[in-house]
Amino acid sequence: MATYRDDFYRLPALYDLEYAQHTEDLAFYGELAQKAGRVLELGAGTGRVTQTMVNAGATVEAIDLSQPMLDRLSERFASQGQAHRVTARLGSFIELPQGPEMPLVVLPFNTIHHVYSGRDVLRVFEQVQARLAPEGCFAMDMLIPDPAFFERDPDGVHELRHFPDPDGGTLKTWENGWYDPITQINHVRYHYLRANGARQLVQVPMRMFYPAEFLDLVQQAGWKMLRCDSDFSGTPLAADAHKLILVLRK
Ligand SMILES: C[S@@+](CC[C@H](N)C(=O)[O-])C[C@H]1O[C@@H](n2cnc3c(N)ncnc32)[C@H](O)[C@@H]1O
């Protein structure tokens, strides 16, 4: 079984460069946070979604396994004079640290793919349920395996993108990798070519879950399903979906 690698999350500045423009999920999590007022965010990273939830008026307990990502999150809110709105905690959502009951727990941006077995997904669900208030909600999103994606050339250049290099010039990034249909691990490799010619390779094993398999785990954990959609604007799950977005109540 593949195990977690945190390579990608040792480079928070690169993470922010790549995902600053990823905004499709922000209104969804922002609206939930606005209603709830207090949020436990799992895998908060550098605070991309946290920022929207704070802007919506919520206070956030932000858990992450990566100290560099959390440091950047803390710097972000300190520089805005908003440090009092966010509690950054180093820890794993597979063994959540104790804390107060929350009206909302979120696990955004495909972060569930860092959980490698159904048994550990059930552990995450159990931990979340222990921290959720009785009428509280758990919201998360994940990718649905796409056969076309897995048939890509493992050594090809896919999703080539250019960013301004923080040190000047242009930073090129692309991805490739391979999918193991036995373990359902998508072994993603991110390649970076800095303006000064330096190269970096970052590997991220992502455990993929098929919808029926994942919804079975949802059922086993006893969740009540409030939403089961294929996008953030509420399109119900259908055969051509690439995403699964869930809002659950215990
Ligand atoms: C895809 S990033 C999402 C970051 C942020 N929520 C966003 O939307 O930009 C996944 C984050 O989950 C964290 N992570 C991975 N496994 C974790 C675990 N078991 N417990 C807590 N955080 C974890 C990583 O360090 C990383 O910051």
Residue 107 is predicted with a pLDDT of: 98
Give the atom of ligand 1 at the shortest distance from the alpha carbon of 41. Answer: 6
Question: Which amino acid, 42?
Answer: L
What superfamily would CATH give domain 18-144+209-249? Vaccinia Virus protein VP39 (3.40.50.150)
The whole-chain average pLDDT of the chain stands at: 94
pLDDT tens digit string along 88-108? 999 999 999 899 999 999 999
Average pLDDT of the segment spanning 119-129: 97
pLDDT tens digit string along 8-62? 788 898 889 888 889 999 999 999 999 999 999 999 999 999 999 999 999 999 9
Given a cut of 90, is residue 2 above it in pLDDT?
no
Provide the CB-side half-sphere exposure for 58 (13 A, CA): 29
Q: How far is the CA of 47 from the centre of ligand 1 (A)?
A: 10
Nearest protein CA to atom 1 of ligand 1, as residue: 111
pLDDT at 17: 86
In terms of Cβ atoms closer than 10 Å to its own Cβ (0-12, 13-18, 19+), residue 1 is exposed
Instruction: Taking residues 74-86, report their average pLDDT.
Output: 97
Ligand 1 within 6 A of CB of 109: yes
The residue-averaged pLDDT of 127-136 equals: 96
144-189 confidence digits (pLDDT tens): 999 888 888 999 999 999 988 877 899 999 999 999 999 999 999 9
Domain ranges in the chain are 18-144+209-249, 147-207
Query: 140: Cβ below 6 Å to ligand 1?
Result: no
Provide the pLDDT for residue 7.
73
Mutation pick for ligand 1 pocket among 4, 111, 112 (CB with most ligand atoms within 8 Å):
111
Ligand 1 centre to CA of 63 (Å) is: 8
Pocket test for ligand 1, best of 94, 109, 114, 115 (most atoms within 8 A of CB): 114
